[in-house]
Chains A and B, each alone.
Chain A
Amino acid sequence: MKISALIFLLLVFAAFSYFMARQKITTAYRQHKQKTKILTLPKYFGYVAALCSLLPALIVLFFLEAVEEPYITSEISTYITANEINASEDLDLYLNDIKGADTPEKIAALSDEKQVVYQRYHEIETVANRTITAIVLSISILLVIWGLRKINTDTPARKVFEKIIEGILLLAASIAIMTTVGIVFSVLFESTRFFGEVPIMSFMFGTEWSPQTAIRADQVGSSAAFGAVPLFVGTMLISFIALLVSVPFGLMSAIYLSEYASSTVRSVTKPILEILAGIPTVVYGFFAALTVAPFIRELGESMGMSVASESALAAGLVMGIMIIPFVSSLSDDVLSAVPQSLREGSLGLGATRSETIVKVLIPAALPGIVGGVLLAASRAIGETMIVVMAAGLAANLTVNPLEAVTTVTVQIVTLLTGDQEFDSAKTLAAFALGLMLFVTTLILNVIALHVVRKYREQYE
């Protein structure tokens, strides 16, 4: 049975359960003739009965569906090996051919040998499908019967119902944890496979990056090298340029807006800065690659310097401008957390505004500003589209901003967007880079959030 039909059936059972339970309680109330006491509304008994049949059945269903696919794959692989069918081509591709045959024409188009395998696959799939349907439906029916028998006027129905809802709410809140766990597991798992092939030391400290693995075993001259140092240096170079632009500009913008600008100027300027923050990064990437980079190259050439057409400078500059609103709004928050009394204390002594800002406000807000800069750094390191479009692919180990460099994120995208089989060292390398990226930004974020929180507590 199709999964959608099965779920529909479960819902029908639940609805049945709801009405039956409600009916039972309504009748019971009428017989007891308890008119004086405030009673739990019958609908809550209905909800409880319905959820009691629906939830366990759904959980079992999703679990079985999740294991069905791997089970079928393993069964069919065993069958192929046992019958010594020549699956010399890649096993995954072979299975895909068979699984993809969902119309009679496609089945007919399969080779005779594959037809046999397909028959077997079809059998296994049908059996698995029927088993799942049977298990889930029987669980549901049993629970409907059990629930309807058990439920009576003494059941604390509203409390039970609210506990269930609270549980669902908690589950929703826990998705954040599951996401983190999912990220950690997926990058960690693939990375360990990668480090099984490439030693971790040569990845972390190697200075040559050329992930082109040989396509055929007999091919020579193109052995892969996975030394990630050029990527780390490139990432840091571009991020550094970005911070060099965004931190002073962002901080000064925030200072001007919060300390000098009239409320009219503020009310016009702030939304404009927000627009800057709301423009998708792919737009910045396009602008960096097609307008800023050629401009910088021409400018450099007119001054007699050779500038790569995909210079780190262009990507870094545009990224820096993209982060200005981010730094500015963080600094704004931090500066406005400094108590007004400190400003007045300084102004009351006859300090000018700039003296007050430089000598009192900024020192007082420094931890918060540092936290903001760390968050901005984390943004710059993880930024993808600008560098994919405006920085190069060549892994040059250089700190010259006029040359082309590549970054961790660029390489992740390049390694994973080609037609790659999933197990090659190339795709696994992307996950190893992802692990590095995740760990670095995680550390920066944790430190930054901690610093900012401590800073806020100080003035609360």
Chain B
Amino acid sequence: MNESVLNELAEPVSRVISKPETEDSLNIEYTATVGQPLCDDAKFSTKNVDVYYADNQAIHDVTLDIGANEVIALIGPSGCGKSTYLRTLNRMNDTIDICRVEGQILLDGKDIYRKKQDPVLLRARVGMVFQKPNPFPKSIYDNVAYGPKIHGLTRNKSELDDLVEEALIKAGLFQEVKDRLHAPGTGLSGGQQQRLCIARTIAVQPEVILMDEPASALDPIATAKIEELINELKENFTIVIVTHSMQQAARVSQRTAYFHMGRLIEVGETDQIFTNPAHDLTEKYITGRFG
């Protein structure tokens, strides 16, 4: 089951590695991360994280804090490891046999890779929205109700109904689908499907939502709606968003982290990163010299 994910994740890494001339021409000196990777009110605190796919190192020594109720954007060229890093935060990488994570990742001060940590509980607390909308082939209602049902969050049908409605309202989808809650979720448009996936995630009421390029498969109008939604969600959730689009990062996030070749190059306030990047590489990426 894991091969497809593996290809998706591992291939870009090897591709970058196999093109050393890019590295040379950029004349990189790998130094410690520039900017402020740490913050006072950290929800997630990652220290010296390394990730390997078999013998292939995909993430090198990343140290980064993610503050409570902030939106942090992870940007960087394809294969830079930002998706891999994101997936370590709720241990989605566990589904890949050959993936190994080293270093420390603390959620509210506790290591999520400790033996006693239960990945199921972790994922209930740290939800995830994927690159491509992936609604279950069930009705819209059942899609949203699925999480609360398996976790036993509600006691009866009317509570569940309320929870589903609330989640759909929060995801800005309720008005569009209230007449057809029992129609299949796969029948919605791409943007609606993605908002359904977000609704599904927030119905579990997680503390953190990880978003892996949530708008990359959508058209601009749908993308705008998703961004609007992220702006509303940041009131209640901590959001980590991986994005390909620098504009999107600029629009939705407070902080931005720039990854390159599996290393965290620079972290800072989004405004500062986009107007006055401290690191040479960040500047080159933002000005579109490579990517």
Q: Do any CB atoms of chain A lie under 8 A from CB atoms of chain B in the complex?
A: yes
Task: Give the docked Cα–Cα distance between A342 and B137 (Å).
Answer: 9
A341 within 8 A of B: yes
Known: A349-B150, A363-B138, A364-B136. A343 touches B200 (CB 8 A): no
Say which size band chain B's interface belongs to.
20 to 34
Known: A349-B204, A350-B151, A350-B204. A342 touches B127 (CB 8 A): no
CB neighbours (8 Å) of A360 from chain B are 136, 146
Do the beta carbons of B121 and A350 come within 8 Å of each other? Answer: yes
Do the beta carbons of B1 and A349 come within 8 Å of each other? Answer: no
Do the beta carbons of A348 and B138 come within 8 Å of each other? Answer: no
Interface string of B100-141 (1 = CB under 8 A from A): 000000000000000000001111110111101011111000
- Smallest CB separation, A60 vs chain B (Å): 57
A339 within 8 A of B: yes
Task: Give the docked Cα–Cα distance between A274 and B127 (Å).
Answer: 40
Q: Which of B5, B123, B138 contacts A350 (CB 8 A)?
A: B123
CB neighbours (8 Å) of B200 from chain A are 345, 349
A283 within 8 A of B: no
Interface string of B56-75 (1 = CB under 8 A from A): 00000000000000000000
Instruction: Name the residue on A nearest B90 (C-beta).
Output: A348
Number of A-B contacts defined by CB within 8 Å: 80
Interface string of A325-348 (1 = CB under 8 A from B): 000000000001001111111111
Known: A351-B120, A351-B150. A346 touches B136 (CB 8 A): yes
Task: Give the docked Cα–Cα distance between A341 and B128 (Å).
Answer: 12
Q: Which of A336, A348, A351 contacts B1 (CB 8 A)?
A: A336
Known: A341-B130, A344-B95. A349 touches B146 (CB 8 A): yes
Known: A347-B92, A349-B146. A259 touches B1 (CB 8 A): yes
A359 within 8 A of B: yes
B97 within 8 A of A: yes
B77 within 8 A of A: no
- Smallest CB separation, A446 vs chain B (Å): 25
Do the beta carbons of A344 and B151 come within 8 Å of each other? Answer: no
- Smallest CB separation, A285 vs chain B (Å): 37
Known: A345-B200, A350-B123, A363-B138. A258 touches B1 (CB 8 A): yes
A355 within 8 A of B: yes
Interface string of B257-269 (1 = CB under 8 A from A): 0000000000000
Q: Which of B90, B129, B150, B197 has the most CB of A within 10 A?
A: B150
Task: Give the docked Cα–Cα distance between A262 and B135 (Å).
Answer: 28
CB neighbours (8 Å) of A346 from chain B are 136, 146
Interface string of B207-238 (1 = CB under 8 A from A): 00000000000000000000000000000000
B147 within 8 A of A: yes
Task: Give the docked Cα–Cα distance between A240 and B134 (Å).
Answer: 37
| Interface residue ranges of A346-376 to B (CB < 8 Å) | 346-352, 355, 359-360, 363-364
CB neighbours (8 Å) of A359 from chain B are 146, 150
Q: Which of B1, B90, B121, B122 contacts A343 (CB 8 A)?
A: B1
B282 within 8 A of A: no
Do the beta carbons of A348 and B150 come within 8 Å of each other? Answer: no
Interface string of B29-42 (1 = CB under 8 A from A): 00000000000000
CB neighbours (8 Å) of A36 from chain B are none
Give the size of the chain A interface in residues (CB under 8 angstroms).
24
Do the beta carbons of B95 and A349 come within 8 Å of each other? Answer: no
Do the beta carbons of A348 and B201 come within 8 Å of each other? Answer: yes
Task: Give the docked Cα–Cα distance between A174 and B151 (Å).
Answer: 57
Do the beta carbons of A262 and B97 come within 8 Å of each other? Answer: yes
A263 within 8 A of B: yes
Instruction: Name the residue on A nearest B123 (C-beta).
Output: A350
Do the beta carbons of A342 and B146 come within 8 Å of each other? Answer: no
B4 within 8 A of A: yes
Known: A259-B1, A336-B1, A343-B1. A349 touches B134 (CB 8 A): no
Do the beta carbons of A348 and B92 come within 8 Å of each other? Answer: yes
Do the beta carbons of B123 and A344 come within 8 Å of each other? Answer: no
CB neighbours (8 Å) of B150 from chain A are 349-352, 355, 359
CB neighbours (8 Å) of A343 from chain B are 1, 95
Q: Which of B95, B129, B132, B136 contacts A347 (CB 8 A)?
A: B95
Do the beta carbons of A350 and B1 come within 8 Å of each other? Answer: no
- Smallest CB separation, B141 vs chain A (Å): 14
Task: Give the docked Cα–Cα distance between A347 and B124 (Å).
Answer: 9
- Smallest CB separation, B164 vs chain A (Å): 14
Task: Give the docked Cα–Cα distance between A156 and B127 (Å).
Answer: 69
Do the beta carbons of B128 and A348 come within 8 Å of each other? Answer: yes
Instruction: Name the residue on B nearest A258 (C-beta).
Output: B1
CB neighbours (8 Å) of A339 from chain B are 134
CB neighbours (8 Å) of A262 from chain B are 97
Do the beta carbons of B204 and A340 come within 8 Å of each other? Answer: no
Q: Which of A259, A341, A345 has the most CB of B within 10 A?
A: A345
Do the beta carbons of A263 and B137 come within 8 Å of each other? Answer: no
CB neighbours (8 Å) of B4 from chain A are 340
Instruction: Name the residue on A nearest B131 (C-beta).
Output: A341
Do the beta carbons of B97 and A345 come within 8 Å of each other? Answer: no
Do the beta carbons of B146 and A344 come within 8 Å of each other? Answer: no
Known: A336-B1, A346-B146. A341 touches B92 (CB 8 A): no
A-B pairs with beta carbons under 8 Å apart, 23 shown: A336-B1, A340-B2, A340-B4, A341-B132, A341-B134, A344-B5, A344-B134, A345-B135, A345-B200, A346-B136, A348-B92, A348-B127, A348-B129, A349-B146, A349-B150, A349-B201, A349-B204, A350-B123, A350-B151, A350-B204, A351-B147, A352-B150, A359-B146
A-B complex: 9 closest residue pairs judged by Cβ atoms: A350-B124, A341-B134, A348-B128, A350-B123, A349-B147, A345-B134, A340-B4, A364-B137, A355-B150
Please give the residue numbers on chain B whose beta carbons come within 8 Å of chain A beta carbons, in ascending order.
1-2, 4-5, 90, 92, 95, 97, 120-125, 127-130, 132, 134-138, 146-147, 150-151, 197, 200-201, 204
Please give the residue numbers on chain A whose beta carbons come within 8 Å of chain B beta carbons, in ascending order.
258-259, 262-263, 336, 339-352, 355, 359-360, 363-364
17 additional A-B pairs beyond A349-B146, A350-B120, A350-B150, beta carbons within 8 Å, are A342-B136, A343-B1, A345-B200, A348-B90, A348-B129, A349-B123, A350-B122, A350-B123, A350-B125, A350-B127, A350-B147, A352-B120, A352-B150, A359-B146, A359-B150, A363-B137, A364-B136
